[in-house]
């Protein structure tokens, strides 16, 4: 309980910027949780992509279609729509069009994480500079100047430390989802390359 009280007091000593940084950290947590649930639902998995490619490579076209229909995630849906489509547009072109929309949905929110990575340290620095200005403004005090200035600078540095922590958190979340996005794009490219191996007169039978 005492540690919690001390933590709250330390937080308040960081100044008004600390509340903005707290909002940024909560926003990062929200984006991370929302993206994790979305990626979990939309990720078809590397095993699915390799299975689909293997079926097409072995000319087991019906098995490839069944695998797409039974699979889960965005990639499986795209392949199912493409294989069942009777459009005159080539399957590869249709798949690339749908994948562009899907990738845009996957990237949603990641830009804001990169903004927080850049903005959080700057906000922390702003809080520190503001605190130092306040500390050095006590030169008119007749006694205890050194102690007051030193304590004020120490409190001002809290904002910088908290800002760096928020930036590190946002960077870690951004890096995780960027790596996962790159892997999903690689899976798409593998499956789309398999579509080019299908005979032109094949209609999903």
pLDDT in tens, 83-112: 887 766 678 788 888 999 999 999 999 999
Which long-range contacts (C-beta less than 8 Å, at least 24 apart) are formed by 72-77? 72/41, 72/44, 73/41, 73/42, 73/43, 73/44, 73/45, 73/48, 74/42, 74/43, 74/44, 74/102, 74/105, 74/106, 75/44, 75/48, 75/49, 75/102, 75/184, 75/187, 75/188, 75/191, 76/44, 76/48
**Can you give the pLDDT at residue 89?**
66
pLDDT at 190 over 70: yes
Per-residue pLDDT, 2:
63
The domain limits of the chain are 14-195
Q: What are the pLDDT digits (tens) for 151-189?
A: 556 666 888 888 999 999 999 999 999 999 999 999 999
Report pLDDT for 152. Answer: 56
Rounded distance between C-alpha atoms, residue 66 and residue 52, angstroms? 9
Mean pLDDT estimate for the chain: 83
Percent of the chain scoring above 90 in pLDDT: 48
State the average pLDDT over residues 23-35. Answer: 95
Give the per-residue pLDDT at 15.
Answer: 75
What's this model's pTM, rounded to 2 decimal places? 0.83
Is residue 199 helix, strand or coil? coil
Model confidence pLDDT, tens digit, residues 30-80: 999 999 999 999 999 999 999 999 998 898 888 989 999 999 999 999 999
Q: How far apart are CA 144 and CA 75, in angstroms?
A: 68
Please tell me which residue, 1 or 117, carries the higher pLDDT value.
117
């Amino acid at each position: 309980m005492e540690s919690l009280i001390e933590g709250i007091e330390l937080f308040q000593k960081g100044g008004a910027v600390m509340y903005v940084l707290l909002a940024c950290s909560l926003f990062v947590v929200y984006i991370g949780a929302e993206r994790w649930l979305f990626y979990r639902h939309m990720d078809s998995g590397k095993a699915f992509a390799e299975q689909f490619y293997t079926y097409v490579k072995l000319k087991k076209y019906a098995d490839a279609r069944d695998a797409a229909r039974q699979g889960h995630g965005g990639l499986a849906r795209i392949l199912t729509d493409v294989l069942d489509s009777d459009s005159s547009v080539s399957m590869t072109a249709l798949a690339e069009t749908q994948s562009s929309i899907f990738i845009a949905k996957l990237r949603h929110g990641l830009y804001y994480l990169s903004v927080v990575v850049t903005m959080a340290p700057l906000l922390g620095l702003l809080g520190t500079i503001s605190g130092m200005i306040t500390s050095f403004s006590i030169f008119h005090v007749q006694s205890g100047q050194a102690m007051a200035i030193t304590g004020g600078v120490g409190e001002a540095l809290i904002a910088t430390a908290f800002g760096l922590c928020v930036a590190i958190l946002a960077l870690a979340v951004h890096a995780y989802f960027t790596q996962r996005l790159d892997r999903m794009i690689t899976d798409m490219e593998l499956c789309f390359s398999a579509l080019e191996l299908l005979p032109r007169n094949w209609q999903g039978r």
